[in-house]
Amino acid sequence: MAITETGTRARQPDSSGHAKSFDGLRIHYEVFGGGPKTIVFIPANSISHSRLWKAQVHYLARHFRVVTFDGRGQGLSDFPDPKGTWPANARVDDCLAVMDATGTDAAYLAGICSDGVFPSVCLAARHPDRVLGIVAIGTGLPVVTPRHANRTAAMAVWDQPVENPEGWFKFNEHHIRHHYADFLEFFFGEMFPEPHSTKQVEDAIAYGLDGDVEVLLMDEQLAASTKEEVEALCRQVQCPVLIVQGDRDNCQPIERSQILAKLTDSRYVLLEGAGHIPMARHPVRVNRLISEFVDGKPPARRARPKNGAPRALLVSSPIGLGHAWRDVAIARELRRQVPGLEVEWLAQPPLTTLLAACGEKVHPASADLAPEALHVDAESGRHRLHAFNMLRRMDEILCANFMVFHDVVSREQFDVWIADEGWEIDHFLHENPELKTSPYVWMSDFVGYLPMPSGGKREAFLTADYNAEMLEHIAQHPGLRDVSIFIGEPQDVVSASFGPGLPSIPEWTERHFKFAGYVLPFDPTAHADASSTRRELGYEADKPLIVATVGGSAVGVHLLHRIVDAFRILRDSVPDARMLLVCGPRIDPGEFEPVEGMQVRGYVHDLSRTLASCDLAVVQGGLSTTMELVTNQRPFIYIPLRDHFEQNFHVANRLRRYGAPPPTDYDEATPERLAAEMRERLGAGAAYEAVTPGGAARAAEIIAAVLGHQAHPGARPTSAASFARRA
């Protein structure tokens, strides 16, 4: 069977294959990394497959060798005959078969619940030379205590039909067989009792539906059938054991983990507020525990460079090149205000192309980041990017990239961390506030997820839940962000609420953010003479120039094709029109058929100058490009991505207040209609509200204050002339 993917993988396996177990079933495995020590992740029972460990793989594979495998009846492994009986030692023998097939002489074993922990115990007891240590999560030793009290009554009628069962009475053979999805929804809701666990629950349900309910219900022979036999096996374990237990575990009684702790050489960690599956819901904490356990030594101490210069680490979202341009402007201004400051970037393509051209320093650890741009491309459709779902399904990548960040700041001393919509930094720091060891600055140009109408009630619920989690993070740890900077003015904040029963977005934002104004990556006065700029760039001053650009991702390719078709039509009535088609770093210019008067280019580093001198721009609904056009008073047509809440709500709100034209709907923008709109706006001119310059200087001043520096005189220009002096 195929494995359901709920997002782009943070890391692909270095190798994969099938091991053949004792009874001929093929067990699918994957191998990641090549460190000197190996960690083998044992499958959970047949209710899930190896993707349950997705939040661990990327991080641990950068330090160790990691082996995962799907248990029999799971994922890409063979399914046993559901009419048979599960052999007593099948899980142990399957693990040994995988270790043999992958050339793993000895390894640390990590498992969850009785189906992962007890096989690890059995393997360590019977083959001590092959087990270096055991990570026991949600420990479930069979028969050593009664089952969890929450299901005692339900188990009494396990094999009897129950009409309209509620609660744990859904843990019933007949209900599971005939209403499997409903059972999974209930069961994993209990396994993740932590608030705001919607994504983890959805993942687990999807993994369960990948399997066969009849395999899940198969009878299993136990390797030990009495409390005394189980405890005897535990006493034979010679290797160290790390026990990780949530204090809200609704599956396994805590007493079972305590018994394992007494019978082995163990370290016992009780996670406050955690449920049964902490490696999914609290991945950073679990990742660090596993790493320290396997590594066997404390983390390296942070070091400061020998020159002692102040340092800033800047994390800029790669979803749109506009973030990088404004961050470059802020970084340059910050270096002016804080003498000797060194700025290093934790960044990935396509931002690294821009940063290299700007002469900025990219931290070497950036090479370890999981690719967000690939995920964006995979989530996109025909001029469609459901931004909220895209971010939500990027959870594996975000966790992986936070761990890269954590490695960097654990080894090196920085005087400030700056995250421009670095969602992973903000989320996981609030989930793990003890990891904050330097001043931290958060920047964003919008606040609040908003549901798209196409998402219905479910999306309205989910966006409100995500907003509520963020609000709770800030309320619980009000000092974790040393300062939050809004890239814009108070009137740019969309007038809406975070959700039912939640605060107003404008009121909450004004209480928790400082406003820098809009950050421009250029001096507006340098673009005042459009004709002169156009001549410098090599374009004919007397020919109408149209620029079409769609940003740094590949999602804009369909719009570019439609613009090309519209330009071909436009040329019939405006034969001297010229067009520059800018594909960006992720779209191949070669896929566009030539049109007379059209020039096609890939990444254009000085695109701001071209946009400032054009007669018309046709663009997506991205904030950076549209605000550059507003600043330079250029006519433009903007076509927001379908289902993109930021472009359709937050950006459109800001552009309305500057007097920009309303957005053009992609579904209505046929080549014919788009050509007519292009012809109409080519001679229409523009008269937008002026954009106040100096945003980069104001943002830098706020950050400099966090560093303990006073702004230099003139650091807060309020006019174009003073901005030009500072630029």
Structural domains of the chain, count: 3
Q: Are residues 129 and 251 in the same domain?
A: yes
Q: Among 295, 323, 351, which residue terminates a domain? A: 295
Q: Does residue 711 register a pLDDT over 70?
A: no
Got the DSSP string for 543-582? S-EEEEE--SSSTTHHHHHHHHHHHHHHHHH-TT-EEEEE
Residues 364, 225 share a domain: no
How is residue 435 annotated by DSSP?
G
- Tokens 């609030």 belong to residue: 430
Q: What is the pLDDT averaged over residues 221-241? A: 93
Residue 280 Cα to chain centre, angstroms:
14
Instruction: Take residue 482 and report the two structure tokens written for it.
Output: 């040393």
Closest CA to 421 of 315, 517, 551: 315
- % of the chain surpassing 90 pLDDT: 82
Burial class of residue 107 (count of CB atoms within 10 Å of its CB; 0-12, 13-18, 19+): buried
Average pLDDT over residues 30-34: 97
Is the pLDDT assigned to residue 561 strictly greater than 70?
Answer: yes
Same domain, 622 and 594: yes
Position 720 scores a pLDDT of 32
Whether 722 maps to a domain, the answer reads no
Query: How many angstroms separate the CA atoms of 711 and 701, rounded?
Result: 6
Q: Which H helix or E strand runs over 254?
A: helix 254-263
What confidence score (pLDDT) does residue 186 get?
A: 98
User: By mean pLDDT, which of 181-190, 354-363, 466-475, 707-716 is the weakest?
Assistant: 707-716
Q: Is residue 250 part of a domain?
A: yes
Indicate if 20 and 145 belong to the same structural domain: yes
For 580, phi then psi, to 5°, come to -105, 115
362 and 244 together in one domain: no
Q: Is the pLDDT of residue 508 over 60?
A: yes
Average pLDDT over residues 137-149: 90
Query: How confident is residue 463, by pLDDT bands cut at 50, 70 and 90?
Result: very high
Compute the distance between CA of residue 379 and CA of residue 387 in angstroms, rounded to an integer: 9
Average pLDDT score over residue span 370-399: 94
User: Has residue 380 got a pLDDT over 70?
Assistant: yes
Q: How confident is the model at residue 1 (pLDDT cuts 50, 70, 90)?
A: low
**For position 98, what pLDDT does the model report?**
98
Domain identity same for 219 and 256 = yes
The tokens describing 65, both together, are 């060798």
From CA 575, how far away is CA 410, in angstroms rounded?
61
Q: Which residue has the higher pLDDT, 86 or 623?
A: 623
Whether residues 509 and 463 share a domain: the answer is yes
The predicted pLDDT at position 712 comes to 47
pLDDT of residue 685: 86
> Which residue segment(s) compose the domain that 101 sits in?
15-155+205-295
Residue 191 belongs to a domain: no
Residue 519 reports pLDDT greater than 60? yes
pTM of the full structure: 0.94
Do 395 and 281 share a domain, yes or no?
no
**Pairing assessment for the beta strands 416-420 and 440-444 based on DSSP bridges:** parallel
- The verdict on residue 708 lying in a domain is no
pLDDT attached to residue 710: 61
With respect to residue 384, please indicate whether it lies within any of the assigned structural domains.
yes
Classify each residue of 476-498 as buried b or exposed e, where b means 16 or more C-beta atoms within 10 Å of its C-beta: eeeeebbbbbbbbbeebbbeebb
- Is residue 661 one of the residues assigned to a domain? yes
CA dist 186 and 409 (Å) reads 40
Domain closes at, from 682, 702, 721:
682
- Say what the pLDDT of residue 471 is: 98
Q: Span 378-393, mean pLDDT?
A: 95
| Digit-coded pLDDT (tens) for 273-284 | 999 999 999 999
Give the CATH number for residue 58: 3.40.50.1820
Q: How far is CA 622 from CA 552, 637, 667, 691, in A?
A: 10, 12, 18, 17
Structure token pair of residue 268: 């016992």
Q: What is the mean pLDDT of residues 119-146?
A: 95
Residue pLDDT, tens place only, 49-77: 999 999 999 999 999 999 999 999 999 99
Q: Which of 480, 515, 550 is the last residue of a domain?
A: 515
pLDDT score, position 727: 30
Q: Do the domain assignments include residue 628?
A: yes
Give the model confidence (pLDDT) of 672-694 as tens digits. 999 999 999 997 889 999 999 99
For residues 605-632, average pLDDT? 93
The phi, psi pair for 52, rounded to 5°, reads -60, -25
Q: Is residue 269 part of a domain?
A: yes
Kindly state the average pLDDT of the residues 68-91. 90
Residue 231: its H or E element: helix 227-235
Write out the DSSP string of 392-415. Answer: HTTHHHHHHHHHHHHHHHHHB--S
State mean pLDDT over 464-492: 98
Shared domain for 460 and 592, answered yes or no, is: no
Answer yes or no: do 284 and 319 share one domain.
Answer: no
Q: What is the spatial distance between Cα 113 and Cα 138, in angstroms, rounded to a whole number?
A: 5
The answer to whether residues 449 and 572 belong to one domain is no
Cα of 144 vs its chain's centroid, Å: 40
Give mean pLDDT, residues 101-130: 96
Mean pLDDT of the chain: 93
Q: Which helix (H) or strand (E) holds 444?
A: strand 440-444
pLDDT confidence tier of residue 714, bands split at 50, 70 and 90: very low
- Band (725; pLDDT cuts 50, 70, 90): very low
Residues 349 and 420 in one domain: yes
CATH number for position 598: 3.40.50.2000
